[in-house]
Amino acid sequence: MTAPSSLLTQVEAGVAWITLNRPEQRNALDIPTLKQLHATLEAYNLDPAVRVVVLTGTGRSFCAGADLAEWAEAEARGALETYGWTETAHALMHCLHTLDKPTIAAINGTAVGAGMDLSLCCDLRLAAQSARFKAGYTSMAYSPDAGASWHLPRLIGSEQAKRLLFLDELWGAERALAAGLVGEVVADDQLPTATAELAARLAQGPTFAYAQTKRLMRDGASRSLAEQLTAELAAGLLCGRSADGAEALRAATEKRAPHFSGK
């Protein structure tokens, strides 16, 4: 019998859905899953039919983080520091964070450790009412290793980030919303519909301009205002020369809704 794929994928109306599919392991990330997800994201980033990427999970967990069974096996053979999980996870997180396409995390359940970090790498986060968040590092006497120490202070501020990391508290969806960890909370049975509606809005938008905006926001933290203004000028020129830019101008003069192609 063929083992089920650890990822389920579907592209419809410009939206690529990626579903982590290891429900018995609470969608934990082993190295094969990390590599498959990385390759899938890279392929979607190059596919003009894909305008938006949605990441979610099968079952009651979004993602339980690292596959501890795989870690235990590596430790048993004396290879915990060298078998490559951290490096493989870091490559995936960087790929997801820097993807040109808008990304949405539809957090359907518990997001722990690298699973929480996976959601933090997405542009927008929708959480089901039953979603739970836990850093999961210090309770294992470990420090963050998949981007939490970078994302959390920027999203929720230094003190809240330290509370979540130091105390390893379990945050419910409403607390995550109040802190700014997610942007929206919906009833569990409404998560697929709410996510699809948001993804459709993005897919119909000027995705070339989205890519430029993402890059400006991502790189702006390391620039002075003068440097950022120069970068904005360059990005604006690219947007103005794009097919979407020309279509937006035509639509405005013709007093109609624009039809963007993402080019």
The count of structural domains within the chain is 2
> What is the percentage of the chain residues whose pLDDT exceeds 90?
73
- Inside any domain, residue 213: yes
- Inside any domain, residue 248: yes
- Inside any domain, residue 21: yes
Cα 176 to chain centroid distance, Å, stands at: 16
- Inside any domain, residue 261: no
Give dist(CA 190, CA 26) in Å, integer: 21
Per-residue DSSP letter, 29: B
User: Do 134 and 67 lie in a common domain?
Assistant: yes
The number of helices, as runs of H, and strands, as runs of E, in the chain is 11, 10
User: Do 163 and 224 lie in a common domain?
Assistant: no
User: Do 89 and 217 lie in a common domain?
Assistant: no
Give dist(CA 256, CA 135) in Å, integer: 47
User: Do 193 and 214 lie in a common domain?
Assistant: no
Calculate the dihedral angle through the C-alpha atoms of 243, 249, 254, 259, rounding to the nearest 10 degrees. Answer: 40
CATH number at residue 68: 3.90.226.10
User: Do 195 and 225 lie in a common domain?
Assistant: no
pLDDT in tens, 26-50: 999 999 999 999 999 999 999 999 9
Q: Residue 228's domain spans which residues? A: 207-254
User: Do 22 and 137 lie in a common domain?
Assistant: yes
Question: By mean pLDDT, which of 71-80, 101-110, 158-167, 175-184 is the weakest?
Answer: 71-80
**Separation of first and last alpha carbons in the chain:** 44
Give dist(CA 47, CA 211) in Å, integer: 14
| Cβ contact 179:156 at 8 Å | yes
User: Do 182 and 219 lie in a common domain?
Assistant: no
pTM to 2 decimals?
0.92
Tokens of 44: 């979607």
Q: Which amino acid is at 78?
A: G
Helix 207-220 vs helix 191-203: crossing angle, to nearest 10: 100
Sort residue 10 into left (φ over 0), alpha (ψ -120 to 50) or beta. Answer: beta
- Inside any domain, residue 260: no
pLDDT in tens, 201-247: 999 999 999 999 999 999 988 899 999 999 999 999 999 899 988 88
- Inside any domain, residue 113: yes
